[in-house]
Amino acid sequence: MDLKEIRSQFPILSQTVNGKPLVYFDNAATTQKPNTVIDIVNEYHSRWNANVHRGVHQLSNVCTDAAEAAREKIARFINAAASDEIIFTQGTTDSINLVAETFGRAFIKPGDEILVSQTEHHSNFVPWQQIALRYNARFVVFDCHDSGEWDMNDFYAKINAKTKLVAVGHVSNALGTVNPIKDVIDKAHSLGIPVLVDGAQAIQHIPVDVQALDVDFYVFSGHKIYGPTGIGVLYAKTQWLEALPPYRYGGEMISKVTNTYSEFNNLPYKFEAGTPNYIGQIGFGAAIDFISQFEVQQIATYEHKLLRYAEQKLSDLEGVVIYGKSDEKAAVVSFLIDGIHPYDLGVLLDKTGIAVRTGNHCAQPLMTRLGIFGTVRASFAFYNTFEEIDYFAEMLRKIIPMLK
């Protein structure tokens, strides 16, 4: 991969922050956008904008075709069996709420159980907890080890005939751990239980094949894979999309409306009420085109080298504790420095042009389990460089004594 060439396609990367060249290590929160994504969003707003699906005129048809082409691209990217299995949502959180609300309404009864892991992002935790409360079901959490890896014995102990759904993350946003989701899916399926996988931190880092995984629901956000904000995907097997009731009601999701009843539209539109974020979809499609120039495996290999390099550099510093110890990790390093508040470190790093995230990373149950309130998190994308990590380590070396 020609890094210089890749970086030149992301205009934000060549700017300064606080008078210093930007070093953007907050990619788990959101990734930057290449010119192709920025340009296509601009082009469709300035040349082609018209509402989709209902038009007879040219602009509407152009937008509709481009928005639907994005659905096809995403289906191919994750190897879905059909593009109708791709539902556009506002993002990962919206996708999970869609499944939680509709699955809850259709299938969750008092005494049922919903099983999640201790390492989930709040958006794959709170919706299930609230659905369980609403239907008098049990919300069950399986444990992780101090390393951040799942305690699979606890998972095998807690899954049972009462479990109605398992919801787990593919990659931990807080620690970077790549989780053994295939083992979870196989075990759940042996008991006839469907599995939802939160792929928000996996889709941009590791190849995902939903058919090979045999996963029932797989969700992710456009903005974490170089696309626009406000657009995301719910992939679900057709059998589930047929079985679940609609999420929201309104235009587009109906085929017939009378004063007394309505009939719902075919897939995927049954789950896409109202005017969709069609320009977001088109931008998302451009992001998929962008990333498809590379092998995702090639990206993963490079990012893994960045990760191990950063972990090594951090370990050389006194008082650093890295959270998330696993052989299987995506490009996230979470750490604390003895006696220093993460927030103070984050603020001083910002003064040097380095953007990291501090806090609980929307994973309070995990932080509580690890006995900490938060960490400093540096998360990488394939446009980051070893030189940036050297600079990061050098700045930490200067900052640490100032905060002690």
Catalytic residues: 362
Considering the complex, state which of residue 32 and residue 92 has its C-beta at the smaller distance from ligand PMP: 92
CA dist., res. 323 & res. 315, Å (int):
12
Considering the complex, state which of residue 222 and residue 285 has its C-beta at the smaller distance from ligand PMP: 222
Considering the complex, state which of residue 124 and residue 352 has its C-beta at the smaller distance from ligand PMP: 124
> H helices of 78-199, where?
92-107, 126-134, 152-158, 181-190
> H helices of 125-269, where?
126-134, 152-158, 181-190, 210-213, 238-243
By CB under 6 A, tell whether 378 contacts ligand PMP.
no
CA dist., res. 263 & res. 251, Å (int):
12
Phi–psi pair at 376, nearest 5 degrees: -95, 135
> 219 by DSSP, 3-state: which?
strand
Q: Give me 145's structure tokens.
A: 């080890």
By CB under 6 A, tell whether 93 contacts ligand PMP.
yes
By CB under 6 A, tell whether 91 contacts ligand PMP.
yes
CA dist., res. 251 & res. 129, Å (int):
30
Considering the complex, state which of residue 116 and residue 137 has its C-beta at the smaller distance from ligand PMP: 116
Residues 297-316 touching ligand PMP, rule: CB under 6 A, are none
Contact window for ligand PMP (CB under 6 A) among 38-46, 88-96, 109-117, 370-378: 88-96
Per DSSP, the chain holds a count of helices (H) and strands (E) of 14, 17
Using CB under 6 A, pick the residue from 200, 213, 306, 396 that binds ligand PMP. Answer: 200
By CB under 6 A, tell whether 119 contacts ligand PMP.
no
Residues 328-347 touching ligand PMP, rule: CB under 6 A, are none
Using CB under 6 A, pick the residue from 33, 121, 164, 357 that binds ligand PMP. Answer: 121
By CB under 6 A, tell whether 198 contacts ligand PMP.
yes
Rounded to the nearest 10 degrees, the angle between the axes of helix 278-292 and helix 35-43 is 150
Considering the complex, state which of residue 215 and residue 340 has its C-beta at the smaller distance from ligand PMP: 215
By CB under 6 A, tell whether 123 contacts ligand PMP.
yes
Rounded to whole angstroms, what are the CA distances from 134 to 120, 131, 166, 175, 208? 20, 5, 18, 31, 33
Contact window for ligand PMP (CB under 6 A) among 89-97, 143-151, 160-168, 259-267: 89-97
Of 228, 215, 226, residue with least CA distance to 189: 215
Q: Give me 30's structure tokens.
A: 């959101």
252 within 8 A of 273, measured Cβ to Cβ: yes
Using CB under 6 A, pick the residue from 32, 97, 221, 375 that binds ligand PMP. Answer: 221
> 198 by DSSP, 3-state: which?
strand
Contact window for ligand PMP (CB under 6 A) among 10-18, 85-93, 203-211, 312-320: 85-93
- Over the window 166 to 185, marking each residue x when it contacts ligand PMP by CB under 6 A and - when it does not, the resulting string is ---x---x------------
Using CB under 6 A, pick the residue from 31, 119, 201, 358 that binds ligand PMP. Answer: 201
By CB under 6 A, tell whether 384 contacts ligand PMP.
no
By CB under 6 A, tell whether 6 contacts ligand PMP.
no
By CB under 6 A, tell whether 34 contacts ligand PMP.
no
By CB under 6 A, tell whether 375 contacts ligand PMP.
no
Give the single-character DSSP code of 339: T
291 within 8 A of 140, measured Cβ to Cβ: no
E strands, 253-345, in order: 254-257, 262-264, 320-323, 332-337
Residue numbers of the site for ligand PMP (CB under 6 A)?
28, 91-93, 121, 123-124, 169, 173, 198, 200-201, 221, 362
